Structures are given as C-alpha cells and as structure tokens.
Amino acid sequence: METSIIIAGFGGQGVLFSGQLLAYAGMDNGMHVTWIPSYGPEMRGGTANCTVIIGDELIGAPTVAHPDVAVALNLPSFEKYAPLVKSGGLLIANSSLIPAKSNRTDIEIVTVPANAIAEKFGIVKMLNMAALGALLAKRPLFTLDALLQTLHEHLPARKHHLLEANKLVLQRGYAVGMETAVPA
C-alpha cells in the first residue's frame, strides 16, 4: 500500500521539515519513502510545498498529480490543492488561516487550528506539528509514538530546546484529528 501526501504553505511554516519528518518516520519504520521539496526563492513568506510518498513496496515515481492526502497550511495552498485530492482522500486544513470551505463531498476534510494550537503549547512556528498530528490521527501510517521518536532523533540540535513543546503541539493536533471530521 502506498500513500501520497502533499504539504503546502508559506516558507517559514515548517512545510519542508514536516515532509522530512514523515519521510524519516517511514524509513525508521521500514517503509519505502520519497520526499521532494519545492519552494520559491524567498526564505520566509514565499511558497513552499513538498511531496512525500510512503509505502510498503518500492515507489515507482516520486511525483503526484492527485495526492491521497493534502495538508494546506494557508489559503493559497488550500485553493490549489483541495481540488486535487483523490476521491476518498483526506484534506487537512489550517483553520487558523483558512476561512474557506471546500465544496467537495467525496473527501474527508479535517480542520485544525494549527496556529492557535502552536501558540498555546509552543510558538507559532510549530503549527506544522499540529497539522502532522491531525494527519496521523486520520491516516495512521505509523504510531504517534513512532513519529514522536523520529522527531526526537531528527530535530536539529539548534532546536532541541523546543523538543518538548513540539511534542505537545503534535499530540494536541493528533487529539484534534481524532475528534474532528467535518464534511465539506
């Protein structure tokens, strides 16, 4: 089985790290993975997205036109990727920045106030962890504990002082994902 995921938002929202973390967790759990980043020339505020594919067999191609899952951290990403999610797929939307609703009734839509969770349990830059938690609650590619372990092992050393806060944000996003499923 193979799951394709696109994570998208502004630069500075942790889009690329989110994808890397999923890829590392997949590898750490014996899965095959691909991770393809894409970003604009700006360091912060430009567009950023990445495609992650996680599977139990070799992955044929690292690109995806219609992902199984899309994580939209801002409104432009929501508008671009919500229509592309496969029927039966999942859309995680950061309701802190996305006031729009999707007209799709053929996918599961989970709204998570990622910015608000990050600010409450850490700092706003951790919003990506809230979204990842919600994703994992709805698509258990591996356990939450496995992702927490991967976070511990792969968080850059210069950010280790933020490890516990990142874990709290991830866990709260997971809890929101477990209790929230809003049809389009």
Q: If we measure between CA atoms, which residue out of 16, 7, 27, 14 comes closest to residue 149?
A: 27
The total of structural domains in the chain comes to 1
pTM over 0.95: no
Q: Does residue 123 belong to any structural domain of this protein?
A: yes
User: Containing domain of residue 65, as a range?
Assistant: 2-179
Where residue 35 sits, what CATH number does that domain have?
A: 3.40.920.10
Pair 146, 29: CB distance under 8 Å: yes
Question: Looking at per-residue confidence, does 46 or 103 come out higher?
Answer: 103
37 has a pLDDT exceeding 60 = yes
For 142-183, the pLDDT digits (tens) are: 999 999 999 999 988 898 898 999 999 999 999 999 997 544
Q: What is the pLDDT of residues 45-82, one digit of tens each?
A: 678 999 999 999 999 888 899 999 999 999 999 999 99
pLDDT of residue 41: 65
Mean pLDDT of 87-97: 97
pLDDT value of position 184: 40
- Find where tokens 């996680």 sit: 54
Amino acid at the residue 72? A
Residue 85, in any domain of the structure: yes
Q: Torsion angle, CA of 48/53/54/56, rounded to 10 degrees?
A: -170
| DSSP classification of residue 95 | T
Q: Is residue 184 part of a domain?
A: no
By percentage, how much of the chain surpasses pLDDT 90? 79
Cα distances (Å, whole numbers) of residue 125 to 76, 86, 88, 176: 18, 29, 30, 18
**31 falls within a domain:** yes
| C-alpha closest to that of 18 among 59, 63, 72 | 72
